[in-house]
Chain A
């Protein structure tokens, strides 16, 4: 099992300058915030299940940039259908990173379906993702990391991570309009400082 903050840091160190990232509500948003602020990142702080649909729309609007969405297992389980929608659109620039701690970390650690027989990588593969993998150790991760920013998408990477709380780190703003305006401006006017 991998340590989530170390992992997210590791992945983001290899981030191309123009890549766009999205995180789902709860721990994935706090994880990305812990790596520092970036105007090309959009944090969800609510609307569970909407991070992957948002990332699909973003990827279709910005086909020349890599879009990576970090989503928890609970988040993905809430909207499994979007994996079928994404596979059918087949955006070559989209990567989904599933941060799978097999539990609802924000609400008391209740087990999710992935603590049982459900395998998110298998779901993604069954939906039609051509590139999928599961990493549960540092060794697996190195192989996975070669793909995340460059492989032809849609890519689905399931990362088995240690459950349990990490220190809370808040993102740029809880004001959705402020966060959206900054993100949209950074995406569409990259030359502007």
Chain B
């Protein structure tokens, strides 16, 4: 991973600029810095979920009550959300998620591959528009585009943060 860009800070700034003050997540290494920024901000509520699909209903309820939020998850968690994703679609509510990818570029663990490869297909099948980003310098504009799409057109949007950008998780025995 390069140190040349502080993309988690850029994402956080974009989220704040869009009026997002709820961050729901099931943690992933790729989201560590962003979650930390949210926790440190006194106007942002951070909700740690037990499973990703809780975040779909939670953000829909928050929007009904006048707040905006984002769901931070790992690609394996996308599978957990499938049926819940019907809720924002049928209610024409906005839904924004940022997904850190596993199971693709440089993956070491074969168990991550099936859901990683299925992630964009599953999202597409549930009417979630996919915004993929694999270069640090394009992160901010991609999150901004996805957030605008979700909240302005009341549709579901997912930003996929590529493993090419995050760096594949390294495993070493011993």
Residues of chain A at the chain B interface (Cβ within 8 Å): 20, 22, 42, 46-62, 79, 81-82, 84-85, 88-89, 176-177, 179-181, 183-184, 187-188
Which chain A residues lie closer than 8 Å to B87 at the CB level? 46-47, 50, 54, 176
A61–B53 CB distance below 8 A: no
The answer to whether A50 and B91 touch (CB under 8 A), given A61-B64, A85-B47, A85-B48, is: no
Which residues of chain A are near B63, meaning CB under 8 Å? 57, 61, 184
7 contacts between A and B (CB under 8 A): A53-B54, A57-B62, A57-B69, A60-B65, A81-B50, A85-B47, A183-B64
A60 contacts B91, C-beta separation under 8 Å: no
**Distance in angstroms between the alpha carbons of A177 and B86 in the assembled complex:** 12
Report the separation of the CA atoms of residues A122 and B26 in the bound assembly, to the nearest whole angstrom: 25
Given contacts A58-B65, A187-B64, contact A51 B57 (CB under 8 A): yes
Q: A56-B58, A79-B53, A180-B64 are in contact. Are A50 and B84 (CB under 8 A)?
A: yes
B contact residues around A177 at 8 Å (CB): 90-92
Taking CB atoms and an 8 Å cut-off, the chain B residues in 71-90 that contact chain A are 83-84, 86-87, 90
Measured in the bound complex, the distance between the Cα atoms of B128 and A151 in whole Å is: 39
CB under 8 Å from chain A, chain B span 35-77: 45, 47-51, 53-67, 69
The answer to whether B64 touches A88, judged by C-beta atoms less than 8 angstroms apart, is no
- Bound-complex Cα distance A49 to B86 (A): 12
Q: A50-B87, A179-B91 are in contact. Are A57 and B51 (CB under 8 A)?
A: no
B150 at the interface (CB under 8 A from A): no
A62 & B90 in contact (Cβ 8 Å cutoff): no
Whether A58 and B56, one on each chain, are in contact in the complex, defined by CB atoms closer than 8 angstroms, is: no
How far apart are B96's CB and chain A's nearest CB, in angstroms? 13
Contact with A along B132-163 (1 / 0, CB 8 A): 00000000000000000000000000000000
Q: Does B93 contact A (CB under 8 A)?
A: yes
CB pair B56–A53 under 8 Å, yes or no, is yes
Chain B residues whose CB sits within 8 angstroms of the CB of A88 once the complex forms: 48
Q: Within the complex, what minimum Cβ distance (angstroms) separates A47 from chain B?
A: 5
Q: Give bound CA distance, A20 to B47, whole Å.
A: 21
B57 engages A53 (CB within 8 Å): yes
List 14 extra interface pairs beyond A53-B57, A57-B60, A81-B54, CB under 8 A: A47-B57, A49-B83, A50-B57, A56-B58, A57-B65, A60-B47, A60-B65, A61-B61, A61-B67, A177-B90, A179-B91, A180-B93, A181-B92, A184-B66
- Residue among B45, B64, B86 making CB contact with A58, cutoff 8 Å: B64
Once A62-B66, A183-B64 are accepted as A-B contacts, the answer to whether A53 and B58 lie under 8 Å apart by CB is yes
The distance in angstroms between the C-alpha atoms of A89 and B47, with both chains bound, is 7
Q: Assess A50 versus B65: contact at CB under 8 Å? Given A60-B22, A60-B45.
A: no
Question: If A55-B61, A58-B61, A180-B92 touch, does A46 touch B86 (CB 8 Å cutoff)?
Answer: yes
Select one of B22, B54, B65, B66 contacting A85, CB under 8 A.
B54
Taken together as a complex, chains A and B put the C-alpha atoms of A59 and B66 apart, in Å, by: 11
- Bound Cα distance A56, B49 (Å): 12
